[in-house]
Amino acid sequence: MGKVIVVTSGKGGVGKTTSSAALGAALAQGGDKVVVVDFDVGLRNLDLIMGAERRVVYDLVNVIQGEAKLAQALIRDKRVETLYLLPASQTRDKDNLTAEGVEKVISALKSVFDWVICDSPAGIERGATLAMRHADIAIVVTNPEVSSVRDSDRIIGLLDSKTLKAENGERMEKHLLLTRYDPARAERGDMLKVDDVLEILSIPLLGIIPESMEVLRASNLGTPVTLADERSVPAVAYFQAARRLKGEDLPITIPGERRGFFGKMFGRKAA
């Protein structure tokens, strides 16, 4: 049975879709069977970021409404053969996402794929709560910036109360993915410190993705950043995050800082 991951944040524009595509591709590049599901009904973008926008035939709402079979709506990536996309609807309303419908789709996907990655819309409304509802693991995407951290805290609260895991009294596995980290601003002391964000949110760190031109470039080309240039700094950071998701215990380095400083801190927070 596969694992269901929700990539969520509360705040918009922090890097959820970028991260869903990059982590999904990274896991699939390692041979795992992965499906990335776009929950942003009405404002889909994952298809564009993954370069599949011209090949959408059916979408999540079609499947939930019984207008198409799940297998017909899945789009297989042209570059990585174990990577699939389930697009969101661009024209239909969010209200077409029913809790029962989503549950059926997720459990069908779980039985076939190793990883089901749900790209959540921003906000705390229906789309976001449905995206997190069936998750085993949550990746909270946060920028080192006050409003993003505050919204992440709010989302963590929802993860601990509004999900099936929470309702069944189980513990939701939560990870922090710090994105758009800018070493130059950190150096000047104008950005929240990694340490501070970790202390405030107190969930373990999955990785730090630096602010990078490579991300923009990859999205221009419609290629997840881990496929665009495997050796770029953000790609390496995403590959490492993917390995941590699979349970590897890799030390985290803060972009632009020397190794070592961070080891002790991560050791403490990973507990």
Partner 1 sequence: MNLRRFFTRTQSAPAARDRLQLLLAHERASAGGSDLLAKLRDEILLAIAKHVQIDSDKVSVKMERGAQVSTLAVDIEIPFEAAAKKAA
Ligand X SMILES: Nc1ncnc2c1ncn2[C@@H]1O[C@H](COP(=O)(O)OP(=O)(O)OP(=O)(O)O)[C@@H](O)[C@H]1O
Q: Which residues bind Mg ion (CB under 5 A)?
A: 16-17
Query: Rule CB under 8 A: which residues touch partner 1?
Result: 48, 53-58, 68-69, 71-72, 90-91, 216-222, 229, 231-233
Amino acid making up residue 170: E
DSSP string over 158-184: HHTTSSHHHHTTPPPEEEEEEEEE-HH
> Mapping DSSP to helix (H, G, I), strand (E, B) and coil, where does residue 224 land?
coil
Considering only 2, 24, 87, 234, the residue that binds ligand X (CB under 6 A) is: 234
Q: How far is the CB of 209 from ligand X (least distance, A)?
A: 5
Q: How far is the CB of 121 from Mg ion (least distance, A)?
A: 7
Considering only 5, 6, 130, 209, the residue that binds ligand X (CB under 6 A) is: 209
Q: How far is the CB of 86 from ligand X (least distance, A)?
A: 16
Burial class of residue 86 (count of CB atoms within 10 Å of its CB; 0-12, 13-18, 19+)? buried
| Residue 140 phi, psi (nearest 5) | -95, 110
Q: Which is nearer to Mg ion, 46 or 254 (CB)?
A: 46
- As a 3-state breakdown, the chain gives helix, strand, coil percent values, each rounded to 5, of 45, 15, 40
Q: How far is the CB of 67 from ligand X (least distance, A)?
A: 25
130 binds ligand X (CB under 6 A): no
Report what 56 binds from partner 1, ligand X, Mg ion, none; CB cut-off 5-8 Å by kind.
partner 1
DSSP character at residue 189 = T
